[in-house]
Every structure is written in C-alpha cells, then in structure tokens.
Structure 1
Amino acid sequence: MQVIASDGDLELGGLDWTRVLVNLAAERFIAQFGVDPRETPESLQFLSLEAEQAKRSLSVRARAAITVRHQNRLKTWQLERGEFEQSSRVLLERCRQVVQRILKDNRFGWARIDTVLTTGGASRMPMVKELLSQLSGRTLNTSLSPDQSIAHGAALYAGMLQANRQQAKSVYDRRVSERLRRVQQRSVSARSLGILVRDEQTGRRVPHYLIGANSPLPASVTSVFGTVVPNQRKVHVRIVESGAGSDRPPTVLGDCTVSGLPAELPEGSEIEVTLSYDHQARVHVTAREPLSGALAEVEILRADNLQRGVVPEESRVAAAEPGAELKSVLATGAAVELGAAPK
C-alpha cells in the first residue's frame, strides 16, 4: 500500500462549521436583545453545544432548532440548511482549494482517480458531499464509518508495526498476525521540512525547506549553511515544517544547538545540517561543524509536539538569538532517499 500524496488544512475542521451556527444564532440574539451571548463562558458553552447538535441535525434535515440562553433570557430559532450553507461558503472554498492543490501539485487529473472515499464527521454534511461530487464528477464511496474509520485505520497500522514482535505474537490470532505481517505500507511526508535561516539580503529569518512535501519516506537531506558573524561560537538550528497552504506561516517543531565551535572562525564558515524523516515520520536532526567535529543531534517525536507553535511574523524578521544563526548564502545540497545512492 503506497501513499502517493497527502495534503490538508490543519486549521479547518468540524468546529469551524459549528462556529458558523454559533455566530448566526448570536447575531439574531443581539438583534433582538442587544447583548452578545458569546461574551460569557457559560452562555458560549451552552450555545456551542446547541450549535453542534443543530449541525448534526442539518445533515439529515432541512431545518433545525437552536436555543440561546443568556442573562436570564431564553430564545429558540429555526435555522434553515440553505442559510447554514450560504454562511459556510468560505469554509467550502478552503476545502475546494485543498482538493485542487493536491491534484495540481502532483500533476493528477480526475481521470487517474478511481474512487473518492469519504471519512470524518464533516463528510456527513450535504454541502461537503456535493462539493466533492461536483469536483470529481463521481458518485462518492461512503462505505466507511465517518466517526470510526480513522480509529480503525490507526489500529490496523499499529497492528502492522507490532506484528513481528514477540508480545504481539502472544496476543494476536496467528492468522491475523500473518496477514498483518504481509501488509507493507509506504508513506510520504505530509509537509515540507526545513530550518529557519537568515536571508543575507533582507536580514529576515525565513524557512529553508530541505525535504519537500510528499517526499517518499524514509528520506534524508544534508545541506551546507554558513555562520553569520566572525568568531561565532555556537549555532542554533530551529526546525520548522511548512504551513497548511502556501499562505500559511511555518510551524516550529523543535531546536538543535551546536556549542563549542572553534575560536576565530570566519563569517560564512560551513555548518552541515542533516534532516531525516524515518518511515514513521519521526524527525532526526544533526548539525556538525566539519573542522572541529562539533556535533549536535536531536530526535523530534510528533507526540511531543501537540502544542506546536506557529512562527510569528516578528520571529521571522528579527533573530531570536543574534549571532547564533545560519544564513542561506551557502545552501547547497539535494534530497537523498535513504538506502539510495546519492545523485
């Protein structure tokens, strides 16, 4: 089983559609009573739960009731599916962009797509189904459970990883273990992976991506960068991945610092940076100064980055630690797939 390409919008999900209904109901409440039910946590929580139920109802009905409770006032309205869909058109456009982008970036036409398989709670909404049907010109395959299929896939993948381990052999049925062992999966990197460097012309810290999105895994890249000041004694490497879309800022994954560089190194001294993705999409980083052999290594686990931060604009303009950066002027090197001869 081979993954050819992966894409998505990390900042788009079912809560965005729930928020549309929250805002629709809140605006009606404001128009009638002159107060905003979103201004207190208790009223907002009540309204959010109501909006979630209304969203689910509108997936199977033409209208749904939603109740707002705030400052001892209680009011119920009927919301039409058409009004919900009209207010959600910006979200649908973002869905359209993701679908069109992954096809364009990978030079795929719909003629090469055999099946459009839907999953996830949002795939229940008629507006999402209609969008995918219009784009693909196909009848959607809705055979999977929208709520459970992701968990099923995760369980199967865990079984594939564990199938050859002794503990798993004692738990799995022998036939199940044998079938899981025969399944081979080849994945790709969901986002571009790189580091922040200082652009010599602008002085801005900008992402320099070494492993492109949808590169086959495992993959490894080594590139050479230059120090930014004379007698630089350490290098701080900040690892980032691309945002969900070309207009989104990069996301910080972690840091790696090389200390104890030789004294009196001239500006532009070479630092080798190696980024690697293993087959489980774990990130390995090595930074090395060739003359002294000074080395730093770090492994970044996705599970440790659930609270990853987006690189703010000011961080991309001014260095977080002046004099401990790398610059892109010496950046050379190309992606080399692990196990393959360098080209």
Structure 2
Amino acid sequence: MTETSLSSQSFPMLVPNNSNAQPLIFFLMGISGLKAAQYWISIPFCLLYVVALSGNSMILFVVLCERSLHKPVYCFLSMLSVTDLSLSLCTLSAILGVFWFEAQEISLNTCIGQMFFLDGFTFMESGVLLAMAFDRFVTICDPLRYTTIFTNAPIAKIGINVLIRNVAVMLPVVIFVKRLSFCSSMVLSHSYCYHVDLIQLSCTDNRINSILGLFALFSTTGFDCPCILLCYILIIRSVLSIASSEERQKAFNTCTSHISAAAIFYIPLISLSLAHRCGHSAPPFVHTIRATVFLLIPPVLNPIIYSVKTKQIRKAIIKLFLIRDKAIY
C-alpha cells in the first residue's frame, strides 16, 4: 500500500453481506499522516505497555506472596490489577501490530471479540473501583463492622457479581452488532475495535445498537460513578466530624490512592466519549493517539500510585527485592 493514510477510497466497496461465504474484513487505523514517524511514535506506546504489564504483575505477585497483605483492601487491589492486565492484553497485539507490522486487517468476529473483552474489562474496572469505594466507606464510617462485612465469601461474591453484570450487559451489544450489515468504508478510526466506531460503519439502521451501547454504559460506569461520589460525600461528612485534625488527615490519607485511581479511570473515559461526539474536526492521527493513550492511562498509573502512596505495598515490594538480592548473593 503506497498511500500515507487509510481512507474509504483505499479499499474496494464491499457488498453488505454477513454470510459465511465471504468474511467481512475491517481495517484498523495507524497514525494517519505520520507514517514515516510511526515506528518512532510506537516506542513510547511499547514502553507504556511494558510498564502496565510489569507494574500490575508486580502488584499481584506482592499481594499473593506477602501474608500481611492478605486483607480485603488488597484483594480488591488484586482484582484491579487483574482487570488492568486484561485491558492491556486486549489491545496489545492489535495496536503494536498496526504500528510495527502494518497488520491493519481484522475480521468482523475478531473485532467483535476484542470489543466485547475491551468494553467488558472497562466496565469491570468501574465495578471494582465501586467496591473499593465501599471498602473505604466502611473502613472510615463503620470500622467496627469491617471484619464482619468483608470476609472472603462477600469479597468473592462482589467479584462474581461484577463479572456477571458485565457479561449480561455486553451480550446483547455483541448479538446486535452481529446482525448489522456493512458496506462502503470499512476503515475504523482507531488501532483497536471500539463499539461506537464499529456501528458507525453500518449501512443499516443502528439505532438499537446505539441504545444498547448507551444502556451498557449507563448501567455500569453511569451507575458506579455516582455511587463512588456518594461514598466519598458520606466519608467526608464522617471525617469532618472527627475532632482531631491529625486523625482527619490520617483518614483522608487512606483514601488518596483510591481517589487517584478513580480519577485516572473516569476522567479519560469521559474525555474519550466527549472526543467521539464533539471532536470530529481533529485530524485522524490525533484520534488514534488520544484514544490509545487514554486506554493505557489506568493500567500504567494504578500500580505506580499504589506503590508510591500505599506504605504497606511499598514496604512489601522493598522486602521482596531485598530477599531476592540476598538469595542472589
């Protein structure tokens, strides 16, 4: 392909046909207009993936190995790390394949599968953040009942319920995407499959798909975010009733890591949604870079935040590295 960017004219018009005779092929967008610099631009993205995968793996390893971290708050942190690892792995091969090898072709079924897992793990992260907010609420507002509320069984139920919720809201989305017909342009505007991006290429009525996508969004992140805000309103009210300023600071310090994690998840998510609806005038390569960066922000920053802000995690990491160094020498 000799063109510097992908466009609808770069590929032949495809007859709308979802039969098994001729599988539909879509084309993922590289960094349009910056093809010469694409390999260099891919290096920072590769480094971000390395940080995300190694950082979350380290958090999981530390929590599993250190017995002092076998507590509810760190169980939720492990769930968050598993979700971030899964989010990174969902798009790793597609994005680096596009940037490094120009592997831009993707079949409809593969695209739908990637979309299912990407959106599913995004909604799962939102659910885990809500569970962590409730954990912080009980810790500060009702500490005497903490050990009776957060036992192993309720924690496992929370994880299972979040998983079931995500599958339940995503299955109708996937089923109705499969029923769409596609024609003319088959070029996606990102380096991975995104639901809004995919259904916009349909040449049939996609209103049901839009409704289902909005329902999935509002029944997960749209529900979780206000609940997290409510938890922190109650936490602030409880903390302000504490007489000692030192105790207030200590109580707030227990929430800083989670507040940071929630902020770096919801702010990029809202920004990306607004960019899809209001940022059509931006060049295509801006959409690609912005969407990829927003996708990687939570998996990259969450392990860094918890390693720096949480003293127990930091001490456990140092302890494990010291033991490893002693074993080597």
Provide the TM-score with structure 1 as the length reference: 0.23
User: Higher relative contact order by CA 8 Å / sep ≥ 6: 1 or 2?
Assistant: 2
**Structure 1 or 2: more strand by fraction:** 1
Max Rg structure: 1
**Structure 1 or 2: more helix by fraction:** 2
Provide the TM-score with structure 2 as the length reference: 0.24
